[in-house]
Chains A and B, each alone.
Chain A
Amino acid sequence: MDSFAYAPHPDVLVTDLQNELVLLHTTSSEMYSLNEVARAIWTRLPATRAELLALLLERYEVAPAQAEEDLGALLGDLQRLNMVREA
């Protein structure tokens, strides 16, 4: 598992729509919508993958394997869109 901490990319603007958090990358103009669980992860940044996994397991009733898969998918999307980077 990655040992480095993920941090929000400074070029990302965050808009709070109450029931979702919308990320907008100012350079690429890509947008990404975060639901409640993804929002909890985003607002926890900067954090390592292990810390984020622990947050999911502590806060939500989810099996470890599922949490790991969901977290991997989210971080993968955010990395691909350049919305997070190594702290």
Chain B
Amino acid sequence: MAAGAPGSGHPATEPVAFRSLAVQVEGELAPVLAAALKADWQRQEVAWPTEHTVRLSPLTETEPPQAFAGQAITAQTQNGPLELWADGEVFRAAGLRLETSAQGSVVELSPSVSPALLLLAFTEVQRAAGLLPLHASVLSRDGQTVAVSGPSGAGKSTAALRLLAQGWHLVAEDWAWLDPLHGQLAGWDTGLRLRPESLERFAPQLLADTPTDAHGKRVLSPPRLTGPQGLSGVFFLGAAPSVSRLALVRAIWEMVGVPLTPAARHATQAGVNRLMTELPMEQIDRDDLVRRLA
């Protein structure tokens, strides 16, 4: 471990070097941050090309982010709204300076950075490297892999539970990363969170041995299929089946989320355009989906 320069006020750092999905991460960071990043961004080994390098270093700026030129923005994330200041390709927030481009990214962090900002920054660099985060359940059977997306409460997890009983294997409950260039996907979360009534209705035999999380949902832990899977198609759960192209465009952006940085937006738009032309997608009712994939 390298000590901080005497009198510099910088905490001790350690070298960091690991690959994560489509990026190679390199640099020096406070050990607590290095450990958090590795835990979150090395969930499984995926042998995708890593032409995008993320250079990490301790945050050198001591002024608050709003002291710099730029525009205040609010990023809507799954962890709630986050305040940032944008100046071209440079984004600042408490404990974070993020600069992305198609070729590589620079991330400066202080140990005070929040987990939500850390997640946002690394999601942005994966996006800038060309990946799409999928807010979807992903299941695979006999070489066919499907993503099931839709708004919260639409029944993604319940559909997944019913498909597990039909011989499908879980790849992801609600978070996967897709390489749109090669149509390959890797699951990024574990477990299957279900309302107790869903479990009672579709798999009552599992009720007794299934723990409950802080939100009252039952957490099932079926074996997860790891390694990249070739994505065969996407189903969007909705109240009514629709063939509207505009409805599909809206649904796919809800599935991949809104990128923040210009480089991530550019790459994500290219990825979405590729999916729209190359991947079968449709909106479907949950029960129809289960019947179709039985």
**A interface, CB within 8 angstroms of B:** 10, 13-18, 20, 22, 24, 26, 29, 31, 33
Contact = CB atoms under 8 A, between A and B. Distances in A.
Contacts of B276: 15-17
Contact of A31 (B250, B258, B272): B250
Contacts of A13: 253, 258, 265, 268-269, 272
Given A13-B265, A31-B250, A33-B246, A18 B277 contact: yes
Interface string B256-278: 00100010010011001100110
A15 B273 contact: yes
User: How big is chain B's contact interface, by range?
Assistant: 10 to 19
A16 B269 CA distance: 9
B110 to A, nearest CB: 28
A20 B276 CA distance: 12
B182 interface: no
A31 B246 CA distance: 8
Nearest to A32: B246
B253 A24 contact: yes
Which DSSP category, helix, strand, loop or mixed, fits chain A's interface? Answer: strand
B138 to A, nearest CB: 22
B258 A15 contact: no
B129 to A, nearest CB: 19
13 contacts: A15-B253, A15-B269, A15-B273, A15-B276, A17-B245, A17-B249, A17-B276, A22-B245, A22-B246, A22-B249, A24-B249, A31-B246, A31-B250
A11 B193 CA distance: 33
Given A14-B269, A15-B269, A17-B249, 13 more contacts: A13-B258, A13-B265, A13-B268, A15-B249, A15-B253, A15-B272, A15-B273, A15-B276, A16-B276, A17-B276, A18-B277, A20-B245, A33-B246
Contacts of A33: 246
Contacts of B262: 10
A20 B277 CA distance: 12
A33 B273 CA distance: 15
A17 B248 CA distance: 11
Nearest to A23: B249
A54 to B, nearest CB: 28
Nearest to B277: A18
Contacts of B249: 15, 17, 22, 24, 31
A14 B252 CA distance: 12
Nearest to A18: B277
Contacts of B253: 13, 15, 24
A49 to B, nearest CB: 26
Contacts of A20: 245
A13 B245 CA distance: 15
A15 to B, nearest CB: 5
